[in-house]
Amino acid sequence: MAKTRSLRFVDASFLADAPVTASARQILPASAAEAFRALEDGDAWPVWLVPVDKIDWTSPQPFGVGTTRNITGKGAVTSEYFFAWEDGHRMAFNFTESQLPFFAAFAEDYELIDEGADQCTLVWSWGFECRGPFKYAQPIVGLGFKKTAQKSLKNLATYMAENRTKYVE
């Protein structure tokens, strides 16, 4: 089993100040409220987010600031803490612990912008800092993450087109 490492606690300010920051946008064929419900659905993430195999929410609903979850992907488990939560609009978290050896700090922010009843834009922002010798590879890791994010967002748009009714209230 891989060693679990603690990561430095960061918040929203890290998304602007991190050594590597970027974002990607995708129009989704759903309202922001529907897309947000899909983001709350742990079973949906492995369908659209390329490296994720499993999501386990470790906090009870209703979710909000302070919610935690574990992500399993490529055989490694990462624990997350949500430092921002605005129902139907935004969720943001940092990694607290991970079996991935390269990150010292990591944060992500998912913001949904309504574009009408049947459409919204998802803005996915992230920032990270690699630890030790992995710092030298930060630009390459950043490019790889961006490419994966863009593919994943296209997958999410397809998922929402095929499963939107699941998230309609």
* The pLDDT of residue 1: 59
Q: Is the dihedral angle over the CA atoms 53, 59, 60, 66 positive or is it negative? A: negative
Q: Residue 62, preceding bond cis, omega within 30 degrees?
A: yes
| Bridge partner residues of 58 (DSSP) | none
For helices 32-40 and 138-163, angle between their N-to-C axes, nearest 10 degrees? 110
* The pLDDT of residue 74: 87
Domain boundaries, the chain: 5-167
* The pLDDT of residue 116: 83
pLDDT tens per residue across all 169 residues of the chain: 589 999 999 999 999 999 999 999 999 999 999 999 999 999 999 999 999 999 999 999 999 999 999 999 988 999 999 999 999 999 999 999 999 999 999 999 999 999 987 999 999 999 999 999 999 999 999 999 999 999 999 999 999 999 999 999 8
| Threshold 0.85, pTM exceeds | yes
Superfamily of domain 5-167 in CATH is: START domain (3.30.530.20)
| Bridge partner residues of 110 (DSSP) | 91, 124
Let me know the angle formed at the C-alpha of 110 by 44 and 118, rounded to the nearest 5 degrees.
Answer: 70
Are the CB atoms for 36 and 88 separated by under 8 Å? yes
Helices (H) and strands (E) in the chain, counts: 4, 8
Are the CB atoms for 49 and 152 separated by under 8 Å? yes
